[in-house]
Structure 1
Amino acid sequence: MAVFHITDFGAVGDGAADNTHAIASAIEACEQAGGGTVYVPAGNYITGPIVLKSRMTLYVEAGATLRFHTRFDGYPAVPTRWSGYECYGYSPLIYGKDIQKVAIKGEGIIEGQGEAWWEAYREIRRGGSAPESSVRHELMVLNQALAESVKSNIVEWDSQFLRPPLLQLIGCEQVVLEGVTLQNSPFWNTHLVYCDHVNVRGVTFKNPSTTPNGDGFDVDSCSNVRISDCHFDVGDDCLCLKAGIDEDGRRVGRPTENVAVTNCTMLHGHGGVVMGSETSGGIRRVVISNCIFIGTDRGIRVKTNRQRGGGVEDIRINNIFMQDVLCPLAINGFYKHGVDESNPMMTTSEAVPVWEGTPVIKNIYISDILAKNCLASAGFIYGLPEAPIENVVLRHMTLETTLDPEEKGGEPDMVREERVMAGEGMLCKHVKGLELHQVTIETRQGPALLLENVSDADVDGLRMRTRHPATPVIRVKETQRLRLPVNGESAEAGYAVYV
């Protein structure tokens, strides 16, 4: 295939010249030739938005930086999916829609210069004015009907300052991302929507810990996705699987499915591998293996709520090391962020009627996990009273909480009850079908395992090496059909404590 050097089209890598037109010209020539490689040699290239085309590879050489300018009006309104809603938004810095056989490769850097976007957003949050922008005014017209109905991210929807991702591909097939570093995104770093057959290898996703909504990689209603040998160091979720939000997500009805994640490292942020909270189209058939999470607040995280619908099912996770996380495993059907506070159904902890917004979480299999110095709890599995989490199997796990007496811990996950824990065990509430086999849980305080409103639980080989005075290993409340290896007998509990 032909190679199109952007310098042959007038690009200058001096860190000052605007190369938007030169890069667009190279891409146009590549498209007219039937495809090829648009080559970015070593240098510092300032540019505006880049629109990718079919049968094209954007190759960023080692020593090359694509640095996007911060003139907000330089990013025109385009169709997007923003935080789960189909709408219009500022153009992503790199954008592709309905294209095939597209790749971004190399060992160079793609720099979003997100600080200007972050500071504008923070000013709006402080009660200041949104930046003057003709694009923003256009978005207020294009998104008017939707903005009036949205109940979450109100600051963004009211202002229509919908910060763009660094890279977004929508409706694309045969996508390859390989080798590059993507950093300092205005919003989410990399966002793939409605894509099929995606292969991501050896990519680095970086955002500062202070980045608002600084997710690393969001896979949104995509199928057949392979992610391997990547490194994440971000300010929000490292890798997040999504499938649209609430009524709009259910209308689209497109799941994220057939996803394999392996050999990745995750640092900082709010979660290592996260599913949700946008679960409305469904997330299913996901395998996660051979990963390391350090300081990621939560390790494996599933989050959804009564507005979302859809759900998460058929998940397999194995061979994960974690350290300095708040909670290594959080599965939460009662996620509180972004709910309509005026809707009693969304705020009550009592059972409500099942409807299309009721999410289903089931068939979660997790094995061979070592988590050290967990600051809040050893695990948190929290369903809805009207829709318990179903069929969770935990095998060969060692979960060690902090021993630091000064550690204050925090919320193992965000639920309506705002539970704060510190160096405590695994809490399971509203669960139907729970198995623990050869699981070791060490706590600073309290029992290893707390079961509340759990039915059909098998606990075999639970170990707690360090016991606390007058404290049971397992505490049980309102739980039926709990089977323990005590003389081969089962134990029934309405309200009881087991030592």
Structure 2
Amino acid sequence: MAKYDITAFGAIGDGAFDNTSAFSHAIAACAEGGGGTVYVPAGTYLTGRIKLVSHMTLEIETGATILFKNEFDAYPAEKTRWSGYECYGYSPLLFGSGLERVAIKGGGVIDGQGDAWWQAYRKLRYEGAVPESSVRLELLELNRGLRERIRSNIVEWDTQFLRPPLLQLIDCRDIAIEGVTLRHSPFWNTHLVYCEGVRITGVAFINPSDAPNGDGLDIDSCSAVLVSNCRFDVGDDCLCLKSGIDEDGRRVGRPTEYVTVTNCVMKHGHGGIVMGSETAGGIRHIVVSNCLFIGTDRGIRMKTNRARGGGVEDVNINGIQMRDVLCPIVINAFYRHGIDESNPLLTSHEPVPISDGTPVIRRISISNLTARNALASAGFLYGLPEMPIEDVELSHITVEMTEDPEEAGGEPDMVKERLVMAGEGMYFKHVRGLTLHQVRVETRQGPAVRLAQTEGAFIDGVHMRRRHLNTEIIEQ
């Protein structure tokens, strides 16, 4: 296949020259030639949006950086899926739609220069200052019907300042992402939507710890995905599986399924491996193995609520080590964010009628997991009274909680009421068909396991080497 060096199309890698046209012409030549490699040599190449084409490899050489402009209106309105809704948003910086056989590889860097977007978001959230942008005004009109129909507590929804991901591929087939570093995204870092046949290996996903909504990799209504040997250090969820939100996600009805994640390192972030909260199309047939979590708020995290529908099922997780996490295992069907707060049924503690919005979480197996110096709770599984979490097996689990008497802990996860824990054991509420096999929990305070409104629990070896005075190992 032919090779198209962007410098042959006028690119200059000095970090200042605008290379938007050079990228566009190189990619057009690649498309006209039937495919090939668009090559980015060492240097720093400032550019606006880059649109990929089928049968193309974007090769970013070690020492090369693609540096995207931080001007909001450099990214025109584009049909997308944003936080689970099909709508228009700012164009992703690196973007492809309806493509096949696309690769992004090399030892180089793709940098979204997200700081300007983050600052605008903070001013909007904390000061009510709406960003100046002609594209934002266009989005208000393009999304008018959806915006008037959907009520949400998402910060940007009313103003339509819908920040873009750094990389987004929609409805693509046979995708490979190898070796590159993706960093400083305006919103989510890498977002795959409606894709099939994806291989991601040796990639670094990097965002500052305070980057708002700075997820690493979001796999959204995709099938047949392999993620291996990757490194995550981000400001929100590290690797997140999604499938659309609420009624709009159920209308689309496309699950995320047949996903394998192995040999990855998650350092910092709100969650290590996360499923949800956008579960409307279903998340199923997921295998996670041989991963390390260092300092993430939650480790394994599944979250949804009564508005979402769909659910999470048939998940196998094995061979996980964690250190300094807030809560190693979370399954939460009462997640309080991204909802219509005016609807009291979404947060009622009483059973409500089962509907299309009721999520189902079942057949979850987690084994051979070790967590040390966990801060809040050893585990937190909180189902719905009308739809308990079903068939959960925790096997060969060791969790050692913090011994620091000054550790304040925090919320194991975000349910309706604010539950703060510090150095405590596993908490189960509204769970049916729980198996605990060879589980050891060392708490700073309280029992190893608390069971509340839990049916059909089979317990085969729950241990606690350091028992507290007048405290049972299992409290029911």
Deviations 1:357-382 (A, max 9, x none): 00000000010000001100100011
Q: For residue 67 of structure 2, what is the aligned residue in structure 1? A: 67
Q: For residue 424 of structure 1, what is the aligned residue in structure 2? A: 424
Q: Aligned to 2:384, what secondary structure does the other structure show?
A: coil
Q: How does 1:80-99 map to 2 (within 5 A)?
A: 80-99=80-99
Q: Does 1:142 align with 2:107?
A: no
Q: For residue 171 of structure 1, what is the aligned residue in structure 2? A: 171
Given that 2:153 and 2:340 are in contact with CA atoms closer than 8 Å, whether structure 1 keeps it comes out as no
Given that 1:197 and 1:224 are in contact with CA atoms closer than 8 Å, whether structure 2 keeps it comes out as yes
Q: For residue 281 of structure 1, what is the aligned residue in structure 2? A: 281
Q: Does 1:467 align with 2:462?
A: no
Shift of 1:131: 2.2
Q: Could you tell me how far apart the structure 1 residues matched to 2:130 and 2:117 are?
A: 11
Given that 1:44 and 1:67 are in contact with CA atoms closer than 8 Å, whether structure 2 keeps it comes out as yes
Q: Aligned to 1:251, what secondary structure does the other structure show?
A: helix
Q: Could you tell me how far apart the structure 1 residues matched to 2:212 and 2:448 are?
A: 35
Deviations 1:257-316 (A, max 9, x none): 000000000011100000000000000000000000001000000000000000000000
Q: For residue 483 of structure 1, what is the aligned residue in structure 2? A: none
Q: Aligned to 1:461, what secondary structure does the other structure show?
A: strand
Given that 1:432 and 1:456 are in contact with CA atoms closer than 8 Å, whether structure 2 keeps it comes out as yes
Q: Could you tell me how far apart the structure 1 residues matched to 2:90 and 2:451 are?
A: 47
Q: Could you tell me how far apart the structure 2 residues matched to 1:137 and 1:405 are?
A: 52
Q: Does 1:44 align with 2:44?
A: yes
Q: For residue 101 of structure 2, what is the aligned residue in structure 1? A: 101
Deviations 1:359-410 (A, max 9, x none): 0000000100000011001000110000000000011110111110000000
Q: How does 1:111-130 map to 2 (within 5 A)?
A: 111-130=111-130
Q: Could you tell me how far apart the structure 1 residues matched to 2:155 and 2:306 are?
A: 22
Q: Does 1:311 align with 2:311?
A: yes
Q: Does 1:375 align with 2:375?
A: yes
Q: How does 1:423-442 map to 2 (within 5 A)?
A: 423-442=423-442
Q: Aligned to 1:136, what secondary structure does the other structure show?
A: helix
Shift of 1:154: 4.0
Between structure 1 and structure 2, the one with the greater Rg is: 1
Q: For residue 33 of structure 1, what is the aligned residue in structure 2? A: 33
Q: For residue 133 of structure 2, what is the aligned residue in structure 1? A: 133
Q: Could you tell me how far apart the structure 2 residues matched to 1:114 and 1:94 are?
A: 13
Aligned letter for 1:307? A
Gaps of 5+ in 1: 477-499
Deviations 1:464-492 (A, max 9, x none): 0000011111000xxxxxxxxxxxxxxxx
Aligned residues: 476
Q: For residue 497 of structure 1, what is the aligned residue in structure 2? A: none
Given that 2:325 and 2:373 are in contact with CA atoms closer than 8 Å, whether structure 1 keeps it comes out as yes
Deviations 1:417-463 (A, max 9, x none): 22111000000110100001111011000000000111111111111
Q: Aligned to 1:119, what secondary structure does the other structure show?
A: helix
Shift of 1:151: 2.4
Shift of 1:148: 1.5
Q: Could you tell me how far apart the structure 2 residues matched to 1:417 and 1:354 are?
A: 22
Given that 1:151 and 1:338 are in contact with CA atoms closer than 8 Å, whether structure 2 keeps it comes out as no
Q: For residue 486 of structure 1, what is the aligned residue in structure 2? A: none
Q: How does 1:378-389 map to 2 (within 5 A)?
A: 378-389=378-389
Deviations 1:297-352 (A, max 9, x none): 00000000000000000000000000000000000111111222211101211111
Aligned letter for 1:359? P
Q: Could you tell me how far apart the structure 1 residues matched to 2:382 and 2:128 are?
A: 38
Q: For residue 246 of structure 1, what is the aligned residue in structure 2? A: 246
Shift of 1:149: 2.4
Q: How does 1:356-375 map to 2 (within 5 A)?
A: 356-375=356-375
Q: Aligned to 2:151, what secondary structure does the other structure show?
A: coil
Given that 1:276 and 1:303 are in contact with CA atoms closer than 8 Å, whether structure 2 keeps it comes out as yes
Q: Aligned to 1:320, what secondary structure does the other structure show?
A: strand
Q: Could you tell me how far apart the structure 1 residues matched to 2:170 and 2:131 are?
A: 27
Aligned letter for 2:135? V
Given that 2:230 and 2:265 are in contact with CA atoms closer than 8 Å, whether structure 1 keeps it comes out as yes
Q: For residue 151 of structure 1, what is the aligned residue in structure 2? A: 151
Q: TM-score, normalised by structure 1?
A: 0.95
Q: Does 1:15 align with 2:19?
A: no
Deviations 1:13-44 (A, max 9, x none): 01110000000000000000000000000001
Q: How does 1:383-422 map to 2 (within 5 A)?
A: 383-422=383-422
Q: Aligned to 2:292, what secondary structure does the other structure show?
A: strand
Given that 2:284 and 2:315 are in contact with CA atoms closer than 8 Å, whether structure 1 keeps it comes out as yes
**Identity, % of aligned positions:** 67
The list of structure 1 runs, each at least 4 consecutive aligned residues, that deviate by more than 3 angstroms after superposition, is none
Given that 1:242 and 1:256 are in contact with CA atoms closer than 8 Å, whether structure 2 keeps it comes out as yes
Shift of 1:118: 0.5
Q: Aligned to 1:358, what secondary structure does the other structure show?
A: coil
CA RMSD of aligned residues (A): 0.7
Q: How does 1:155-304 map to 2 (within 5 A)?
A: 155-304=155-304
Q: For residue 54 of structure 1, what is the aligned residue in structure 2? A: 54
Given that 1:441 and 1:463 are in contact with CA atoms closer than 8 Å, whether structure 2 keeps it comes out as yes
After alignment, is 361-370 or 121-130 more displaced?
121-130
Q: Could you tell me how far apart the structure 2 residues matched to 1:326 and 1:153 are?
A: 25
Q: Aligned to 1:157, what secondary structure does the other structure show?
A: coil
Given that 1:265 and 1:293 are in contact with CA atoms closer than 8 Å, whether structure 2 keeps it comes out as yes
Q: Could you tell me how far apart the structure 2 residues matched to 1:447 and 1:72 are?
A: 52
Deviations 1:222-242 (A, max 9, x none): 000000000000000000000
Given that 2:152 and 2:341 are in contact with CA atoms closer than 8 Å, whether structure 1 keeps it comes out as no
Q: Could you tell me how far apart the structure 2 residues matched to 1:31 and 1:58 are?
A: 12
Q: Could you tell me how far apart the structure 2 residues matched to 1:414 and 1:131 are?
A: 29
Aligned letter for 1:215? D
Q: For residue 352 of structure 1, what is the aligned residue in structure 2? A: 352
Q: Could you tell me how far apart the structure 1 residues matched to 2:141 and 2:300 are?
A: 39
Q: Aligned to 1:24, what secondary structure does the other structure show?
A: helix
Q: Could you tell me how far apart the structure 1 residues matched to 2:337 and 2:155 are?
A: 14
Q: Could you tell me how far apart the structure 1 residues matched to 2:260 and 2:183 are?
A: 23
Deviations 1:140-168 (A, max 9, x none): 11001111222224431211111000000
Q: For residue 453 of structure 2, what is the aligned residue in structure 1? A: 453
Q: Could you tell me how far apart the structure 2 residues matched to 1:31 and 1:103 are?
A: 14
Aligned letter for 2:266? M
Q: Could you tell me how far apart the structure 2 residues matched to 1:404 and 1:227 are?
A: 36
Aligned letter for 1:184? H
After alignment, is 354-363 or 124-133 more displaced?
124-133
